[in-house]
Amino acid sequence: MDVEYHEEFVRNPRGVQLFTCGWLPASSSPKALVFLCHGYGMECSDFMRGTCFTQSFMLSLSISDIPFACGIKLATAGYGVFGIDYEGHGKSMGARCYIQKFDNLVADCDRIGEFTRSLCMQTWRNTEIKAGSCTANRWGGAVALLLHRKDPTFWDGAVLVAPMCKISEKVKPHPVVVTLLTQVEEIIPKWKIVPTKDVIDSAFKDPVKREKIRKNKLIYQDKPRLKTALELLRTSMDVEDSLSQVRMPFFILHGEADTVTDPEVSRALYERAASADKTIKLYPGMWHGLTAGEPDDNVELVFSDIVAWLHERSRHWKPEERTRTPRTAEQHHQVPPEKISSVRSSNDGTDSLASDQSQHRGSFLCGLGGRPQQQQCRM
């Protein structure tokens, strides 16, 4: 199946230019919409082309997962996939990997997700489009879960790849250390002083793919900034406290040999979540980068499981069950993102200006975990 790729820049309410992109089946309307939530330090263009879905699903991946490859694979399976580079990540503007407030990042994703879905619904107004799910990994998993908490009825599901939903007791910093760093975070917020180990060697099993990610200049590979590390710590603790509030359908995927994110974190989410439809699968011998860092046969196995889960949950909805009334700006407490530019390209490599498109029914959150340094750092 041919895949159509497009990208554009939008401006958030803080005046920051953000990069967005998407993958769509070229010859048919998508089964559902999938929104990619990448991880810390990652981006969703060159390195995220392989992941995406339609409907209202979230896909969250880890540092070692490559969204571009994901986008193509999921669009080829019939899904519409959309992603955003967070502020300070990838091609978006802002200090590199500086997170002043995690809520701002979640609000940007929420705004783009609603805007994209509204546009898709206008484009495929008379087409039956089924509901979708969200996939998240690591840091992107926290984004996906917070988006669900922000509006529990908007997303139809989530695929969570090694999600960051709590800090493992094995790497949790001592409270005294956190207190000391908190006292200086407003004085030196951007300082890169948080000690972490290089996790790329631990995340990517395939040596060729490991070197490919090292050469990607859009991926942040320096030490975490002080404010960023503390925001990630506080966010993970906040998410951990609310795991019992998770009610959307979700599918957790985790490598049993993952030394970057403890598989026990995923088990905790599975056991504590209130979702009636929840699935967890642990892959023996696999590392952290399930969708990008494993040998090709393992990657295909993981994607076949993801697509099968999405297919199962995007084929039984009646049109009246899938239709939602898009939130107005007043209901959303925000204005739609300001579009700056748009480029569309097909899989033959040709580019063209993209016309305004809209409307899909259903949507998925795709959370992609980025650099998993937060769980590994000892502050």
What pLDDT is attached to residue 46? 58
Q: Are 292 and 286 in contact (CB under 8 A)?
A: no
Which residue, 325, 308, 318, is CA-closest to 117?
Answer: 325
Confidence of residue 166 (pLDDT cuts 50, 70, 90): confident
325 or 99, which is more confident?
99
pLDDT band at 313, cuts 50/70/90?
confident
Q: Note whether residue 90 is domain-resident.
A: yes
Which of 220-224, 303-307, 371-375 has the weakest average pLDDT? 371-375
With 0-12 CB in 10 A as exposed, 13-18 as middle and 19+ as buried, what is 179?
A: exposed
> Is the dihedral angle over the CA atoms 217, 194, 268, 250 positive or is it negative?
negative
Q: What is the pLDDT of residue 203?
A: 86
101-136 confidence digits (pLDDT tens): 999 999 999 888 777 766 665 555 544 444 444 555
Asked, for residue 236, whether it belongs to a domain, the answer is no
**Which of 26 and 336 is assigned the larger pLDDT?**
26
Residue 184 falls within a domain, yes or no?
A: no
Q: What is the CATH number of the domain that holds 292?
A: 3.40.50.1820
Q: What is the pLDDT of residue 330?
A: 46
**pLDDT single digits (tens) 65-93:** 445 568 888 999 999 888 889 999 999 99
**Pair of tokens at residue 339:** 């579009």
Residue 231 belongs to some domain of the structure: no
Res. 213: pLDDT tops 80? yes
pLDDT at residue 33 in the model? 87
In a domain, 332, yes or no: yes
Taking the C-alpha atoms of residue 310 and residue 136, their distance in angstroms, rounded to an integer, is 14
Share of the chain above pLDDT 90, in %: 36
- If one counts the domains in the chain, the total is 1
pLDDT in tens, 32-68: 888 888 888 888 865 554 433 333 455 654 433 445 5
pLDDT tens digits, 188-209: 999 998 777 777 888 889 999 8
Q: Which residue has the higher pLDDT, 328 or 290?
A: 290
Answer with the residue of higher pLDDT: 344 or 303.
Answer: 303
Domain annotation covers residue 176: no
Q: What is the pLDDT of residue 339?
A: 56
Choice among 160-174, 204-218, 348-362 with the minimum mean pLDDT? 348-362
Q: What is the pLDDT of residue 335?
A: 52
Mean pLDDT for 211-239 is 90
Is residue 154, in this structure, part of any structural domain at all? yes
Q: For residue 153, how many other CB atoms are within 10 A of its CB? A: 10
3-state DSSP of the chain = CCEEEEEEEEECCCCCEEEEEEEEECCCCCCCEEEEECCCCCCCCCCCEEECCECCEEEECCCCCCHHHHHHHHHHCCCEEEEECCCCCCCCCCCCCCCCCHHHHHHHHHHHHHHHHHHHHHHCCCCCCCCCCEEEEEHHHHHHHHHHHHCCCCCCEEEEEEECCCCCCCCCCCHHHHHHHHHHCCCCCCCCCCCCCCCHHHHCCCHHHHHHHHCCCCCCCCCCCHHHHHHHHHHHHHHHHCHHHCCCCEEEEEECCCCCCCHHHHHHHHHHCCCCCEEEEEECCCCCCCCCCCCHHHHHHHHHHHHHHHHHCCCCCCHHHHCCCCCCHHHHCCCCCEEEEEEEEECCCCEEECCCCCCCCCCEEEECCCCCHHHHCCC
Residue scoring higher pLDDT (207 or 340): 207
Q: What percent of the chain has pLDDT over 70?
A: 70
For residue 249, what are the CA distances in angstroms to 76, 118, 210, 252, 327?
23, 22, 32, 10, 22
Asked whether residue 98 carries a pLDDT value surpassing 90, the answer given is: yes
Q: Which domain holds residue 165?
A: 3-170+198-220+246-372
Residue 267 lies in a domain: yes
